[in-house]
Amino acid sequence: MPVNLLEDWWRAAACRNADPELFFPIAATAASGSDIRRAKQICASCPVTSPCLSYALARRQEQGIWGGLTDEERSSLDRVSRHREHDAAAYR
């Protein structure tokens, strides 16, 4: 059965059989740092990181590792994106 990446990307996700706690560390402390690295390694081999990240950004997922990015990394990416949109609107 072909996977529609826009709707069913999660079926092809490398993390679908992994321990969910790996992708939802309590905090970005040294203790959870190894879990974050392991989760990102899984994401690095995943064929659907882009739709996963888009899903998380569109739904403003505040926790977890999505598309290979931590919540802090996604928040930073979102701020940069909003800043660029603001700048582009100013030049219209």
Asked if residue 2 belongs to a domain, the reply is no
Asked if residue 13 belongs to a domain, the reply is yes
Structural domain harbouring 30: 7-90
Q: Of 28, 64, 67, 31, which Cα lies nearest the Cα of 47?
A: 67
* Of the listed ranges 11-20, 31-40, 42-51, 74-83, the one predicted with least confidence: 74-83
Predicted TM-score (pTM) of this structure:
0.75
pLDDT for the residue 48:
96
pLDDT for the residue 13:
96
pLDDT for the residue 85:
57
Say whether 43 sits in a helix, a strand or coil.
Answer: helix
> How many structural domains is the chain composed of?
1
Asked if residue 65 belongs to a domain, the reply is yes
CB 10 within 8 A of CB 17: no
Asked if residue 1 belongs to a domain, the reply is no
Asked if residue 48 belongs to a domain, the reply is yes
- H/E stretch holding 13 reads none
Asked if residue 16 belongs to a domain, the reply is yes
